[in-house]
Structure 1
Amino acid sequence: MDQSNNKALEVDDKFVEHAPDAYPGLSPEDAEFMRGYEGKTGKKVVKKAGFFPGAVFIVSSWYPCHELQQRLAIFYTASAFSGALSGLLAFGIARLDGARGIAGWRWIFLIEGAVTVAAGLVMPLLIIDTPERAKWLSDDEKRYVDLRLRLSGVRSNTEEGDKFSWKLLFKTMVDWKVLLGIILAWANSVPNAAFKFTMPQIIKQLGFSTAQSQLLTMPPYVCGGIAAWLSGRFSDHLSWRMPFIVGPMSVLLVALAVLFNYSKNVADNVPAMYVGVVLAQIGIYPLLPGISAWTGNNLAPSWKRSIGLAWLLAAGNLGSLIGTNIFLDRESPQYPTGYGVSLGIICLGASCALLMEFCLWKSNKARAQRSEAEIRQKYSQEELDAMGERSPLYKYTL
């Protein structure tokens, strides 16, 4: 992932972003023809690893710090609506089971893979990776966008502050803000992965058929997407990230508590259980846009932001390995392990968010004690740019 984002700074970002977009679209189709777990897993790792961090980096390259989260939320909301659509597609495509001698699950891979390939081929023509390459912007408009990005700290004022080095790579990977961000990402990826794979089963336990369960997964995803956009909108408006991360985590805690409490007697608590499922998605989907925006806002210059976002999302997604293995069939319908681990990691994430807020606030307060004139008298612009977010003129986003 780090390599994908690093190369995105050197070559045309949209091709780094969407070449893997079209190519991994072949994976579902390959699943129809391929046999063997190792081959399928290897192809997924090679072809899909750079997609999401590359997309986040491109979006972050266009917008000032306090206009970023709602844009990331719009992008991430596509994941929520794809989850809603997948339930509907699974309901419809299942009827093709046996057609032309192909199993229903293979039809799903073939159809969704073909759509992904087509989209991946078209997207490079539609996605503009940087303002400088936007043919529809005039020179004055490009200059205006560039100045906005420089004033907000997204871009350096000199080339000195925006160079890659292996030292920068390793320093970024152990940066305390990135490490805390990874824990925050785990608070999203663990319950998110768990619900993505178990929601249909949980809903089915409410007494609905498999087909009805697939359809009933749609409203939670739609509500989650709307919550993500609203959270991003208000976070950008208030220029404040932390409440819009801790808030959804609190909603998610309530949702999991409701689901665990009423799971002992599902049949008599169908409305409460379904509301719990909806609340869980409302809590999950605002998290990753907020965490990505908060971490990206506090990393500078663009090389460090690129590396930091890639490492955040790569290490953060390791939580999915946990999330997909904690809702154990033998523990149905209460799933004490699944709910217990999810509740614990969410509490840890909320604590880390509060700790990060305090540390950033304390740093901003210390920097505010020095005047800009005093700082500029001591440091040149090149030296300030080389410091990145450690510059005494840099103000952290809370």
Structure 2
Amino acid sequence: MNELLKPPPPAPHFFLIRIIFNTPRRSFQTNKAVITHSIDIGNALISGLDADLQPPSPNPNLYSYALTAFYVTYILFEPLSVLWSRVPARVLISVIVFSWGLAASLQAVSPNYPFLIVCRAVLGVGEAGFTGIPIFLGKFFKREEMAIRTGIFISAAPLATSFASSLAWGIMKLAESTPIASWRLLFLIEGFPSVLVAGIAWNLIPDSPDKAKYLTKREKKVAKWRLQTEKAAAQDENGQKNSTVKDMLKVLIDPAAWMSALILFLTNLAYSSMPVFLPTILREMGHTPMMSQALAAPPYLASFFILLATAHVSDRLKARGGLLIFSAIFSASGYAMLASAEHLRLDPGSWIRYLAVYPAAIGFFNVVVLTITWNINNQKGETRQGVGFALMQIIGQLGPLIGTRLYPDRDGPYYTEGMTVCAGAMAGAAAVGLVGRWYLRRENRRMDREEERGREGGDQDEGEALVGEKDRTRKGRGFRYML
């Protein structure tokens, strides 16, 4: 039964309170699988968001517009990644966290869809800014230490996903004992803490190792010294830092940058299918909503732990490509099994289909982490890293725009064509990784030969001539691509 709440007095200063409290709690159910780019709005949808925000003449496309607004700004503002090499980290992080938290919280007071769409667009800008975190990590860690650090950052996605449904369920249960509509309380609780965290970030986040308050004077020197070799390799042949324009042009013609962008595009195309087929499989297995939430968590939890293990191994081996290729093939095998389910006459809710989700999810999460790390590792200098990262994200984030359209309702419950495309996408990512690794190895050998010819030609400075051949080796090699 619908419960109509009595609104507070309609004075102007009660505007926000009136919006929050004067919302009928109505159940809103849909049999269509919901594809969202953010877990919170998907849970809000089934909690009454659409029913409460629709105008007197309902428009069935408004919810889709809200989703699209997020992704449009998310893609358009990916070049914000360049700011991580130009703006102090504590300033950039604090601004991004505050604006994101404020926009997320303001969703709770949405009086209509246009207001919500604007909030979602601002959220997209904040999300785009945060993608540059691996560039920030590169100021503290060496190239061979980046995979595990990037893995810890990226692993928040599968870990959060595994608990998101349970958290949303708890918030909705809490809303039953309050006069606030459950979807509004959901936005408020999930968004407002970020506003508070922004102040902490301003005082806690260091811009670089030498500005970290938690390090001793000696530790700051050690942190700076251990990165000196890589900074020297980021200079051009004449020992001068490359100009920003020159760096940008070099990235745009660098096959390594386009390789990682294409791999991320193919991986994201496959990843966007997960919100579609996993709920369908669990629903067809005949489980209750609570049991479905419980069964949806293990694939993401497994991805979380294996992702960290893979990143650790990648750092120990100082290699990315081999593990990336294996992970992509592993994911493709899971999608191939899902694509074959209808031809094998498996039941839509078969445990075999459910188990096939594991390699699919584990594989593409691994590929995402390794691709991002590979992209950062293979651009010398902060400016080139920022431009290369932005290029990868702009191209890569186009994947979901295609992937989410591979699963029309008429293809359910097997979605054979969509699964086949995803299997091909992950196999394609493996192929691009294989060709890319071959190219990078060839380029490294070419640079080795050029450097060796320079030494044989007596190209040495006065200091090297004085200290002799043995000490000259301390200078080390120039920049090399990481394989």
C-alpha distance in structure 1 between counterparts of 2:462 and 2:161, whole Å? 50
Counterpart for residue 293 of structure 1: 373
- The equivalent position to 1:245 in structure 2, one of 314, 324, 337, is 324
The 5-angstrom pairing of residues 289-328 of structure 1 reads 289-328=369-408
- Output one character per residue of 1:182-202: Cα deviation in whole Å (capped at 9) or x when no partner: 111013211222214543333
Counterpart for residue 69 of structure 1: 147
- The equivalent position to 1:19 in structure 2, one of 80, 95, 98, is 95
- Between 320-329 and 261-270, the greater mean CA deviation after superposition: 261-270
- The equivalent position to 2:359 in structure 1, one of 279, 293, 298, is 279
Tell me the secondary structure at the aligned position of residue 131 of structure 2.
helix
C-alpha distance in structure 2 between counterparts of 1:146 and 1:317, whole Å? 34
AA aligned to 1:44 is L
The 5-angstrom pairing of residues 84-233 of structure 1 reads 84-96=162-174, 100-153=178-231, 156=234, 161-162=240-241, 164-196=243-275, 198-233=277-312
Residue pair 1:231, 1:286 contacting (<8 A) in 2 also: yes
Counterpart for residue 28 of structure 1: 104
- Between 250-259 and 365-374, the greater mean CA deviation after superposition: 365-374
Are residues 1:43 and 2:130 paired? no
Between structure 1 and structure 2, the one with the greater Rg is 2
Tell me the secondary structure at the aligned position of residue 334 of structure 1.
coil
C-alpha distance in structure 1 between counterparts of 2:84 and 2:385, whole Å? 12
- Tell me: CA distance 1:214–1:337, structure 2 relative to 1, closer, same or farther (3 Å): same
AA aligned to 1:184 is I
* Greater relative CO, 1 or 2 (CA 8 Å, sep 6+): 1
C-alpha distance in structure 2 between counterparts of 1:274 and 1:295, whole Å? 32
**CA RMSD across the alignment:** 2.9
- Tell me: CA distance 1:15–1:246, structure 2 relative to 1, closer, same or farther (3 Å): same
Shift of 1:153: 4.9
C-alpha distance in structure 1 between counterparts of 2:346 and 2:283, whole Å? 10
Residue pair 1:156, 1:301 contacting (<8 A) in 2 also: yes
C-alpha distance in structure 2 between counterparts of 1:30 and 1:375, whole Å? 66
- Output one character per residue of 1:198-236: Cα deviation in whole Å (capped at 9) or x when no partner: 433332222212332222211111101111111111111
C-alpha distance in structure 1 between counterparts of 2:105 and 2:130, whole Å? 18
Residue pair 1:4, 1:16 contacting (<8 A) in 2 also: no
Q: Which blocks of at least 5 consecutive residues in structure 1 are unaligned?
A: 382-390
Residue pair 2:406, 2:418 contacting (<8 A) in 1 also: yes
AA aligned to 1:262 is A
- Tell me: CA distance 1:344–1:98, structure 2 relative to 1, closer, same or farther (3 Å): same
Counterpart for residue 363 of structure 1: 443
- Tell me: CA distance 1:162–1:138, structure 2 relative to 1, closer, same or farther (3 Å): farther
- Between 210-219 and 242-251, the greater mean CA deviation after superposition: 210-219
Tell me the secondary structure at the aligned position of residue 341 of structure 2.
helix
- Tell me: CA distance 1:276–1:327, structure 2 relative to 1, closer, same or farther (3 Å): same
Residue pair 2:260, 2:371 contacting (<8 A) in 1 also: yes
AA aligned to 1:229 is L
C-alpha distance in structure 1 between counterparts of 2:138 and 2:400, whole Å? 24
Q: Which blocks of at least 5 consecutive residues in structure 2 are unaligned?
A: 1-76, 464-475
TM-score (norm 2): 0.73
